Amino acid sequence: MKSPQIVGLAAAVTSAATFATSGAFIKPLLEAGWSPAAAVTARAIVAGLLLLPLVLFSLRGRWDALWRGRWRIAGMGVIAVAFTQLTYFAAIRLIPVSTALLVEYLAPLLLVIWVAVTTRRVPRPMVLVGSVLAIGGLVLVIGPGALGAVDPVGVALAFAAAVGCAVYFVVAARPADGLPPVALAGTGLLLGGLTLGLAGLAGIVPLEMRFGTVPLLGSVVPWWVPLMVVAFFGTAVAYATGIFGSGRLGSRLASFVGLLEVVFASILAWIVVGEQLTPLQMAGGVLILAGIASIPAEPAAPQPAADEPVEMKAALPI
């Protein structure tokens, strides 16, 4: 593996690990009376504001990069952040969280299938082997019982979240064309947070917040403490490193590395709240790692010239 791909892999693993912190620190807010949409809106807007100084520094007055990357920013904010979060939280109101996670994290498989259909080419054998290993490991980590959901609406909403998750990796892996990864992350989060906020004001999703103290790690802390942890680590760092990693690895491999989030989340639950890891979960983690190792890296996408338009389509060799 080449040096840029090693750096990209490190960034993608960091993204998966920091994304995994979200559940443990968002849960106290939800138990205190926050609606899921309100928690997601707050974390996206706060994370976008935290990244704003880095966004401005990375651009250094090159505002034309924002205009050239407008469709990537729109895709990141409206679909990857707002749409994915809305459909996922709508799904878990109808089906178990484990089932929703299992369906949402079919995103890497969706990318493989999409490219096979659009290019009319059979995926490489190692891609198929890696897909089977990784998805099988995902089932074991989340729990075989996740396959028992019967509510078709909930499953459809979770599948919509999977599509949004796949779009995230595709958008993140597109040629930068002068738009730094941190700028795409920051502006996308702000746009996604504002979109969710407007959906709440329009009555599409409930926006309920409670300001007081919440229990966290055996103590009582102000409500903004877990929010800031999630906004910084689970959102700002997670999206910025994820976009950077996808640009180096390509959307397919980055999406499979993203499956490590469920492994990290299980480990975090074991450390923070004492939930024991079962032998099946450990075996699932090994299968996910084996699947990731089987997926060949994609060649780096060529960077277009400054005067060459960038097409919004996925270049995903299989």
Say if CB 266 and CB 277 are below 8 A apart. Answer: yes
Alpha carbons 266 and 274: distance in angstroms, whole number: 10
Assigned token pair, 269: 């639950």
Beta bridge partner(s), residue 20: none
What is the average pLDDT across 164-170?
A: 89
User: Lowest-pLDDT range, 120-129, 154-163, 213-222?
Assistant: 120-129
Amino acid at site 317: P
Q: How confident is the model at residue 160 (pLDDT cuts 50, 70, 90)?
A: very high
150: Cβ–Cβ under 8 A, 6 or more apart, which residues? none
Kindly state the percentage of the chain with pLDDT values over 90.
21
| pTM, entire model | 0.79
Query: Which one, of 138, 134, 107, 139, lies nearest residue 291 by Cα?
Result: 134
Alpha-carbon torsion, ordered 107, 293, 239, 135, to 10 deg: 30
Query: Which one, of 183, 184, 172, 177, lies nearest residue 304 by Cα?
Result: 177
From residue 94, how far is each of 36, 90, 98, 154, 155 by CA, in Å? 14, 7, 12, 5, 8
Dmax (CA) of the chain = 57
Q: What is the DSSP string of 143-191?
A: -GGGGG---HHHHHHHHHHHHHHHHHHHHHHS--TT--HHHHHHHHHHH
- Helical packing angle, 152-173 and 238-249, nearest 10°: 70
pLDDT tens digits for 197-241?
898 888 888 888 989 898 887 789 999 999 999 999 989 999 999
Counting beta carbons within 10 angstroms of the beta carbon of residue 304, is it exposed (0 to 12), middle (13 to 18) or buried (19 or more)? middle
What is the average pLDDT across 290-317?
A: 52
Alpha carbons 153 and 151: distance in angstroms, whole number: 6
The residue assigned the tokens 């597109």 is 174
Amino acid at site 263: V
pLDDT tens digits for 249-271?
888 788 888 888 878 877 776 77
Say if CB 88 and CB 161 are below 8 A apart. Answer: yes
Q: Which of 79-83, 110-114, 151-155, 258-262 has the highest mean pLDDT?
A: 79-83
For residue 314, what pLDDT is reported? 36
Say if CB 102 and CB 139 are below 8 A apart. Answer: yes
Alpha carbons 279 and 299: distance in angstroms, whole number: 36
Q: How confident is the model at residue 46 (pLDDT cuts 50, 70, 90)?
A: very high
Alpha carbons 318 and 297: distance in angstroms, whole number: 10
